[in-house]
């Protein structure tokens, strides 16, 4: 815990100094009532004229309010350690969204699942565990598009992974375009450890830029590629 303006705490004693140093202010009103009239009115009402007494708790409330104001002016703040330590590593996860990824030919724990469901489960866990890395998400099929830009918010990226659907960027598979998009994003970043994780069933059937040529561009820019392919 710290204070942005600790010197403001000195003002807490200001009311005490004012009480002892300032002269007592005489009561005054808009209309001066003669003492005889005040006595007559008090006699008629059956109540003696007494000076107003402070109600119970009123002084305490004033003290607490004043101290709360002083603390607020001092600017308290909480010193917390860094949420994470950046690793300097940029990772793009590109995954296949072509029609073949909807095939239910994967068995996990006795359950028959579609390929895309297996990807979501495994990649989601991988992304959430990348503390300090910047992660981006690319989906590809006939076309490739950037789902999430490079960010430290790995939770948000993993949630976006759960929302994409098969066939959104087309029905076929173009690995070359997916690699090309990743290269375009990473080449604009500062030199460092730049990686592309490419997940697909490997059935390339679209595109003018071959995966081999695109991989060559990545190699020239010192971008590492880890390809994960699977099929029935």
Helix (H), strand (E), coil (C) string for 124-164? HHHHHCCCCCEEEEEEECCCEEEEEEEECCHHHHHHHHHHC
Q: How confident is the model at residue 99 (pLDDT cuts 50, 70, 90)?
A: confident
Phi and psi torsions of 108, nearest 5°: -130, 120
In this model, does residue 66 exceed pLDDT 90?
A: no
> What CA–CA distance (Å, rounded) separates 140 from 99?
11
Mean pLDDT of 110-122: 84
Long-range Cβ contacts of 226-232 (<8 Å, 24+ apart): 226/195, 226/196, 226/197, 226/198, 227/198, 227/200, 228/197, 228/198, 228/199, 228/200, 229/199, 229/200, 229/201, 229/202, 230/106, 230/115, 230/118, 230/201, 231/201, 231/202, 231/203, 232/103, 232/105, 232/106
Which helix (H) or strand (E) element contains residue 223?
A: strand 223-229
Per-residue pLDDT averaged across 51-77, rounded? Answer: 78
Which range is least confidently modeled, 70-74, 87-91, 160-164, 200-204?
A: 200-204
How far apart are the C-alpha atoms of 114 and 126, rounded to whole Å?
Answer: 19
What pLDDT does 43 receive?
A: 67
pLDDT category at 55 given cuts 50, 70, 90 is low
| Beta carbons within 10 angstroms of residue 151's beta carbon | 13
Averaged pLDDT of the chain? 80
Q: Which of 24-28, 35-39, 183-187 has the highest mean pLDDT?
A: 183-187
pLDDT value, residue 203? 66
* Greater model confidence, 133 or 41: 133
In this structure, what token pair is assigned to residue 136?
Answer: 């981006």
Q: Identify whether the C-beta of residue 225 lies closer than 8 Å to the C-beta of residue 215.
A: yes
**pTM across the whole model:** 0.61
């Amino acid at each position: 815990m710290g204070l942005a303006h600790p010197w403001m705490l000195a003002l807490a004693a200001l009311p005490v100094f004012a009480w002892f140093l300032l002269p007592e202010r005489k009561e005054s009103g808009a209309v001066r009532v003669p003492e005889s009239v005040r006595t007559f009115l008090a006699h008629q009402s059956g109540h003696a004229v007494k000076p107003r007494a402070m109600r119970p708790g009123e002084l305490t409330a004033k003290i607490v309010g004043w101290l709360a104001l002083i603390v607020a002016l001092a600017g308290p703040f909480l010193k917390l350690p860094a949420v994470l330590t950046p690793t300097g590593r940029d990772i793009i996860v590109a995954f296949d969204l072509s029609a073949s990824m909807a095939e239910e030919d994967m068995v996990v724990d006795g359950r028959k699942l579609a390929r895309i469901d297996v990807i979501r489960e495994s990649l989601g866990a991988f992304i959430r565990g990348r503390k300090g890395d910047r992660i981006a998400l690319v989906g590809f099929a006939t076309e490739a598009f950037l789902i999430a830009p490079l960010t430290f918010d790995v939770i948000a990226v993993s949630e976006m992974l759960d929302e994409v659907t098969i066939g959104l960027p087309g029905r076929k598979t173009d690995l070359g375009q997916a690699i090309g998009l990743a290269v375009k994003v990473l080449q604009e970043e500062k030199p460092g450890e730049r990686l592309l994780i490419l997940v697909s069933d490997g059935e390339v059937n679209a595109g003018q830029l071959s995966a081999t040529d695109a991989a060559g561009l990545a190699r020239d820019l010192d971008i590492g590629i880890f390809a994960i392919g699977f099929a029935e």
